[in-house]
Structure 1
Amino acid sequence: MSTHPNGEVGMRWALILMAAGFFLATLPALAQDPPDAAAIIEAGFNHYRGKASEAEVEMIIHRPTWERSMRMVGWTKGTDKSLIRITAPAKDEGNGTLKNGHEMWTYNPKVNRVIKLPPALMSQSWMGSDFSNNDLAKSDSILNDYTHSHIGTETHEGHTVYVIKSMPKPAAPVVWGMQILKVRDDDVLLSQEYFDEDLVSVKLMTADQIQPMGGRLFPKIWKMHETDRPEEYTLLNYHSVAFLDDLPESTFTINALKTLNRR
């Protein structure tokens, strides 16, 4: 039995339309741009900080000939408020740091003295560690003082990793001449590398042991070290973290800095 000519024509058109439909369906995937670099950075920042948070952390400062540790509890709210209080060892208990907006204070209970840090000292070492005052306060400078561009992708544990270059805005009051951040497609920050004004790498922060904490995936271990001294480093070991909808404004005051130990 022979096929009717009209049937053959109809079959050809059906095949052509199917092929065209498949091709058009793949065009968006082929042409799709990576997410906006600034949006990636903001999502990563919001993921590890949240609307508000409370955490218990152990800091381990490691040097080739010695090592010391301290325990602390910290609170954050929004993009510019944080309070950190040391809870152990006993000789350091009660020492604290408060950041509210662009201002930062430290408190020493032994002399019952609050000191306001000038902006130049906010980038200095916190308690002799490899983290700066700004690092521990989870400063929002990376969001406000830099422009961001997507420079590549990698993979990590089955996730796409966006590599972002952050350059300071003109006249921005920042220390770093460039930062390179790696953020997974689920908003987990994997690393943050800091460069001087000559674009030479100075220090590197990396994340490890990503696991469920506080209802989301979160790196249990954060490590900071100078680029040319990997044998000297500081670890932040998160024992607990809770992401909250809010915290009272009274948490981030001078009075709280002097008196607050736990909620």
Structure 2
Amino acid sequence: MKCLWVVAFLSVFPGIALGGAPSGESLIEGMEATLWSDSNHGRFTMRIETEYWTRELDLEAWMDRPDKTLIRIHAPKKEAGIGSLRIGDAMWNYLPKVDRTLKIPPSMMLQPWMGSNFSNDDLVKESSFVDDYTHEVTGSEEQGGATTYRVVSTPRPDAPVVWSRLEFQIRDDHIPVAMTYFGERDRAIKTITYSDIDSLGGRQIPTVWTMVDADNPKSRTVIKIEAIEFDLPLDDDLFTLRRLRNPQ
């Protein structure tokens, strides 16, 4: 009888695991909702650092999850106006200097975006952590007064992803600490860390995101969130090729 009660309880509250620990799926869902919500609009700086040079981009981005993302560069001047648009599984880049719109094939989604350590997919979020992976909590520890869970995510059968697995560190308030991407032979490829938690858009979020290549720690890209709004209505006309080419 007791076993039947436990099964019934878990069917009503699937985000709670035995012992009171959250499930891996609920942690990932909470993290995605914290970082992106259903829609968002923000201003960001992206600093790309290599062993030999550093450059900084001023970005504006709109996201209407799960299907639409628009990113536009405002500075520096030589790259101002460049934009990226995703609708579903299709992505385009617009190059204003030559007035060309280029469709990005699926094979290029993991290529660096504007020479950064973030891929096209990282920026426009074509893949979905919740939909494309299964998630298991494999451990936890106390960090800075919060419980941080280790979540291992493995691809679902036939999911359109290339990573052999992902490893997350997520706090119990759904704020991410880090995520590592693994490739062939289970080799770590890159890691993103989240820091500088602050109140923006009416919620506590990490405002600095740092992506570092595993085989070249001197190559990194730092995104800083300058301002962001969540759950605002976004016009469908914003996510069109016409608006990609002409922001007015």
CA RMSD of aligned residues (A): 1.7
Is 1:62 equivalent to 2:56 in the alignment? no
Contact 2:89–2:126 under 8 Å retained in 1:
no
Is 1:152 equivalent to 2:132 in the alignment? no
Is 1:94 equivalent to 2:81 in the alignment? yes
**Superposition map of 1:10-89 within 5 A:** 32-89=19-76
Unaligned runs of 5+ in 1: 1-30
SS of 1:232's partner is: strand
Contact 1:183–1:191 under 8 Å retained in 2:
yes
Among 115, 140, 165, the alignment partner of 1:178 is 165
Deviation track 1:40-76 (CA, whole Å, cap 9, x = no partner) reads: 1011011100121111111101112211111010001
Deviation track 1:132-159 (CA, whole Å, cap 9, x = no partner) reads: 0111113442222111111111223211
Output the amino acid matched with 1:55.
Answer: G
**Superposition map of 1:180-195 within 5 A:** 180-195=167-182
Deviation track 1:176-200 (CA, whole Å, cap 9, x = no partner) reads: 1110011111111221100003111
SS of 2:167's partner is: strand
Which position in structure 1 is the counterpart of 2:232? Answer: 245
Contact 1:51–1:246 under 8 Å retained in 2:
no
Structure 1 or 2, whichever has the larger Rg, is 1
Deviation track 1:116-136 (CA, whole Å, cap 9, x = no partner) reads: 111111111000000001111
Instruction: State how far apart, in whole Å, the 1-side matches of 2:244 and 2:142 are.
Output: 41
Instruction: State how far apart, in whole Å, the 2-side matches of 1:172 and 1:138 are.
Output: 14
Among 115, 130, 142, the alignment partner of 2:129 is 142
Which position in structure 2 is the counterpart of 1:119? Answer: 106
Instruction: State how far apart, in whole Å, the 1-side matches of 2:236 and 2:73 are.
Output: 20
Output the amino acid matched with 2:95.
Answer: N
The 1:93–1:82 alpha-carbon spacing in structure 2 relative to 1, beyond 3 Å, is same
Which position in structure 2 is the counterpart of 1:17? Answer: none
Instruction: State how far apart, in whole Å, the 2-side matches of 1:101 and 1:157 are.
Output: 39
Is 1:223 equivalent to 2:207 in the alignment? no
Is 1:132 equivalent to 2:119 in the alignment? yes
Instruction: State how far apart, in whole Å, the 2-side matches of 1:141 and 1:221 are.
Output: 21
TM-score norm. by structure 1 comes to 0.84
SS of 2:162's partner is: coil
Output the amino acid matched with 1:182.
Answer: Q
Which position in structure 1 is the counterpart of 2:7? Answer: none
Instruction: State how far apart, in whole Å, the 2-side matches of 1:244 and 1:141 are.
Output: 19
List structure 1 runs of 4+ shifted beyond 6 angstroms. none
Q: Which deviates further from its counterpart, 147-156 or 55-64?
A: 147-156
Is 1:108 equivalent to 2:95 in the alignment? yes
TM-score norm. by structure 2 comes to 0.89
State, as a whole percentage, how many aligned pairs show the same letter: 36
SS of 2:43's partner is: strand
Deviation track 1:65-107 (CA, whole Å, cap 9, x = no partner) reads: 2111110100011222110000000100000101111111110
Instruction: State how far apart, in whole Å, the 2-side matches of 1:252 and 1:163 are.
Output: 35
Contact 1:80–1:140 under 8 Å retained in 2:
no
Instruction: State how far apart, in whole Å, the 2-side matches of 1:99 and 1:157 are.
Output: 37
SS of 1:231's partner is: strand
Output the amino acid matched with 1:212.
Answer: S
1:244 offset after TM fit, Å? 2.7
1:33 offset after TM fit, Å? 4.1
Instruction: State how far apart, in whole Å, the 2-side matches of 1:172 and 1:131 are.
Output: 21
